[in-house]
Structure 1
Amino acid sequence: MSRIAPWRRAALAAGTCTAVASLLISGATGAGAANSAAAPDIDIAAVKADLAELQSIADANGGNRAHGQAGYKASVDHLKKKLDAAGFTTKIQEFTHGGATGYNLVADWPGGDAENVVMAGAHLDSVDEGPGINDNGSGSAAVLEVALAVAKADLKPEKHLRFAWWGAEEYGMVGSTHYVNELGSGELGKLDAYLNFDMLGSPNPGYFVYDDDPALEKVFTDYYATKNIATEPETEGDGRSDHAPFKEAGVPVGGLFTGAEATKSQAQADKWGGKAGESFDPCYHSSCDSPKNIDDKALDTNTDAIAHAIWQLSS
Structure 2
Amino acid sequence: MALAVTTVFAVVPLTSPASATTAQPRPAATDSARSAAAPDVDISRVQGHLTQLNQIAQSNGGNRRATGNGYRQSVAYVKGKLQAAGFTVTEQTCASGCTPGAGPNLIAEWPKGDTSRVYMFGAHLDGVSAGPGINDNGSGSAALLETALVLAQQNPAMLNRVRFAWWTDEEQGLNGSRYYANSLPSTERSKIKAYYNFDMIGSVNGGYFINNLNSTASVPMKAYWDSLGLRPQENIEGQGRSDDYSFQRIGIPTSGYATGASARKTSTEAAKWGGTAGRAYDPCYHSSCDTTSNINATALNRSADGIAYTVWHTSVSGGAVTSAR
TM-score, normalisation: structure 1: 0.93
1:104-156: CA deviations, max 9, x gaps? 00000011101000110000000000100000000000000110011001122
Query: In 2, are the aligned partners of 1:265 and 1:276 still within 8 Å (CA)?
Result: yes
The CA distance in 1 between the partners of 2:27 and 2:102, in whole Å, is 40
The CA distance in 2 between the partners of 1:47 and 1:213, in whole Å, is 28
Query: In 1, are the aligned partners of 2:124 and 2:243 still within 8 Å (CA)?
Result: yes
**Which amino acid in structure 2 is aligned with residue 67 of structure 1?**
A
2:106 equivalent in structure 1:
105
- Deviation of the 1:212 alpha carbon: 5.8
CA distance change for structure 1 residues 207 and 265 in 2, over 3 Å: closer, same or farther? closer
1:159-170 to structure 2, matched below 5 A, reads 159-170=160-171
2:77 equivalent in structure 1:
78
**Which amino acid in structure 2 is aligned with residue 201 of structure 1?**
G
**Which amino acid in structure 1 is aligned with residue 218 of structure 2?**
E
**Is 1-10 or 30-39 further displaced after alignment?**
1-10
2:185 equivalent in structure 1:
184
2:62 equivalent in structure 1:
63
2:247 equivalent in structure 1:
246
Structure 2 residue matching 1:293: 3-state secondary structure: coil
Structure 2 residue matching 1:41: 3-state secondary structure: coil
**Which amino acid in structure 2 is aligned with residue 235 of structure 1?**
I
Query: In 2, are the aligned partners of 1:234 and 1:257 still within 8 Å (CA)?
Result: yes
- Deviation of the 1:186 alpha carbon: 1.2
- Deviation of the 1:280 alpha carbon: 0.4
1:206-217 to structure 2, matched below 5 A, reads 206-211=207-212, 214-217=215-218
1:194-221: CA deviations, max 9, x gaps? 0000111001220101126522222122
1:173 equivalent in structure 2:
174
**Is 150-159 or 255-264 further displaced after alignment?**
255-264
Query: In 2, are the aligned partners of 1:169 and 1:176 still within 8 Å (CA)?
Result: yes
The CA distance in 2 between the partners of 1:159 and 1:273, in whole Å, is 38
2:11 equivalent in structure 1:
11
Query: In 2, are the aligned partners of 1:21 and 1:252 still within 8 Å (CA)?
Result: no
- Deviation of the 1:264 alpha carbon: 6.7
1:268-279 to structure 2, matched below 5 A, reads 268-274=269-275, 277-279=278-280
Structure 2 residue matching 1:80: 3-state secondary structure: helix
Structure 2 residue matching 1:26: 3-state secondary structure: coil
CA distance change for structure 1 residues 11 and 74 in 2, over 3 Å: closer, same or farther? same
Query: In 1, are the aligned partners of 2:206 and 2:265 still within 8 Å (CA)?
Result: no
CA distance change for structure 1 residues 32 and 106 in 2, over 3 Å: closer, same or farther? farther
The CA distance in 2 between the partners of 1:133 and 1:258, in whole Å, is 14
Query: In 1, are the aligned partners of 2:93 and 2:105 still within 8 Å (CA)?
Result: yes
The CA distance in 2 between the partners of 1:50 and 1:10, in whole Å, is 37
Query: In 1, are the aligned partners of 2:213 and 2:234 still within 8 Å (CA)?
Result: no
Query: In 1, are the aligned partners of 2:15 and 2:215 still within 8 Å (CA)?
Result: no
CA distance change for structure 1 residues 28 and 162 in 2, over 3 Å: closer, same or farther? farther
- Deviation of the 1:6 alpha carbon: 6.3
1:263 equivalent in structure 2:
264
- Deviation of the 1:226 alpha carbon: 1.6
1:216-267: CA deviations, max 9, x gaps? 2221222122212221111211111010010111111110000002227443
The CA distance in 1 between the partners of 2:165 and 2:114, in whole Å, is 18
**Which amino acid in structure 2 is aligned with residue 258 of structure 1?**
T
CA distance change for structure 1 residues 25 and 196 in 2, over 3 Å: closer, same or farther? farther
Identical aligned residues as a percent: 44
**Which amino acid in structure 2 is aligned with residue 150 of structure 1?**
L
Structure 2 unaligned regions, length at least 5 = 317-325
- Deviation of the 1:24 alpha carbon: 5.5
Aligned residues: 314
**Which amino acid in structure 1 is aligned with residue 109 of structure 2?**
D
CA distance change for structure 1 residues 292 and 234 in 2, over 3 Å: closer, same or farther? same
TM-score, normalisation: structure 2: 0.91
2:118 equivalent in structure 1:
117
